[in-house]
Every structure is written in structure tokens, then in C-alpha cells.
Amino acid sequence: MWAAAALAEALERTGAAFAAAPDGREGAAALVAAPAAAVTAALREAWPALQRNLTRRQALRAGVGPTVRPTGPELRGGLVQAGYALDAAPAAAVGASADQVSLASLLHGIPTEVTGAFHRRLLGPVAAHDRANAVSLLDTLGTFLAHDGSWARTAEALHIHVNTVHYRIRRIEELTGRSLARLEDRLDLRAALLCSPAG
């Protein structure tokens, strides 16, 4: 109940109509007739005062969904996205779904058991190679993707010859069964790197 009261107190600052209620999971949810940016700003402004009124066992985190039309499916989608933003927000912070405009932020809301399994399925053989060898194919893959598949820029960034980049990429393709010439495979491998338990 305290979460709904704290949320209502913060949302008063928007000056917009809203409805806030407990969410059944020791938290609260609200629908607000204001843009997501205004809601996020109001929550961030109210945060310090709300934090001071909490006990040691209570903690504030908030997720703000996108601005949507007031229809059933869109409102539900907005609440689901707010939940993802909440899951992605660190303790004592406000996360906004407007921040979810990248693959990394989207993946952050997926349970770690799911992302970890995805990482292991796609990159497990590459990680096993790296554990047994001095050369990190995972680093090579990350650098290659970060440089938009440019052989020359990857070689420059890794301080190696471009032929070495070609060799390493071929080895990654052999180990994963994926082709870095295909966009779909590049996306899958990029997602798998982002799903790494290490970060």
C-alpha cells in the first residue's frame, strides 16, 4: 500500500489526471494522462523526498512506459513496457521505456536465465576455444561487430594484420555455424554477446 501512496504523491507533480493502485506484487502501477517524459521527470524530482520517508526494508524503483492511446491493447502494452523498464532500472532509480531504443536495453529486461542460455547456445563453443587458447575470438567478434564488419578497422583496433582478422572470423563462423556475411547471423551473434553473463 505504501508503494501506491508514494507513486501517487510523485504523480501529483505532473498536474495530470492519474490512477494509481497496488499491483499485487508489493509494488504499484499507475496510468497517467501525461507524456512519458513528464512522468519520468516528476518521478525523478520526487525521488529524494520519497526516499527519505522509507524504512530500511523499503526501496524505490520505477519504470515508465511509453505514451500510448487510451485503448485496451495499447494500455496493456504500455504497462508491460513499464515493467521491463522497472526490471532494467537499478535499485533506487527511475527507468524509462523511452530509454529502450537499443537491443541492449531490450535484452536487459529479459530474465538472466533466458539470456544466459541464449549466450551459451550460440557462443559456448567460442568461449570454450577462448578458455583453451591465448587468442580471444569473443573479443575479435565484438570488435568486428562494433566496427560494422570492417576488416581493416577491426585489424587496426586489435593491432593485428587484416589476414589474421579473416582467419579469426572464419574460425568463429566454423565454431558457431553462422556466417558473418549474413545480417541475420550478425544480429544473432551481437545479441548473444550482449547476453553474456559477464555483461
* pLDDT greater than 80 at residue 16: yes
Averaged pLDDT for residues 91-119: 66
Residue 91: what are its φ and ψ, rounded to 5°?
-55, 140
* pLDDT greater than 90 at residue 43: no
pLDDT confidence band for 78 (50 / 70 / 90): low
d(CA 187, CA 199): 17
pLDDT of the residue at 106: 63
User: Dihedral of CA 32/30/80/2: which sign?
Assistant: positive
Cβ–Cβ < 8 Å for 143, 160: no
* pLDDT greater than 90 at residue 71: no
pLDDT of the residue at 46: 83
pLDDT confidence band for 144 (50 / 70 / 90): very high
| CB atoms inside a 10 Å sphere around CB 98 | 17
CA distances from 193 to 15, 75, 123, 146, 185 (A): 43, 32, 8, 11, 12
User: Between 141 and 40, whose confidence is greater?
Assistant: 141
**How far, rounded to the nearest angstrom, does the alpha carbon of residue 49 sit from its chain's CA centroid?**
28
pLDDT of the residue at 178: 95
Considering the chain, what is the average pLDDT of its residues? 81
* pLDDT greater than 60 at residue 98: no
User: Dihedral of CA 163/133/169/191: which sign?
Assistant: negative
* pLDDT greater than 90 at residue 143: yes
**What residue spans define the domains of the chain?**
2-101, 112-194
pLDDT confidence band for 133 (50 / 70 / 90): very high
pLDDT confidence band for 34 (50 / 70 / 90): confident
112-194: which CATH number, 3.30.565.10, 3.40.50.720, 1.10.10.2840, 3.40.630.10? 1.10.10.2840
* pLDDT greater than 60 at residue 95: no
Which CB contacts under 8 angstroms, 24+ apart, belong to 12-21? 13/42, 13/45, 13/46, 14/38, 14/39, 14/42
d(CA 7, CA 198): 34
Cβ–Cβ < 8 Å for 36, 11: no
pLDDT confidence band for 50 (50 / 70 / 90): confident
User: Between 22 and 182, whose confidence is greater?
Assistant: 182
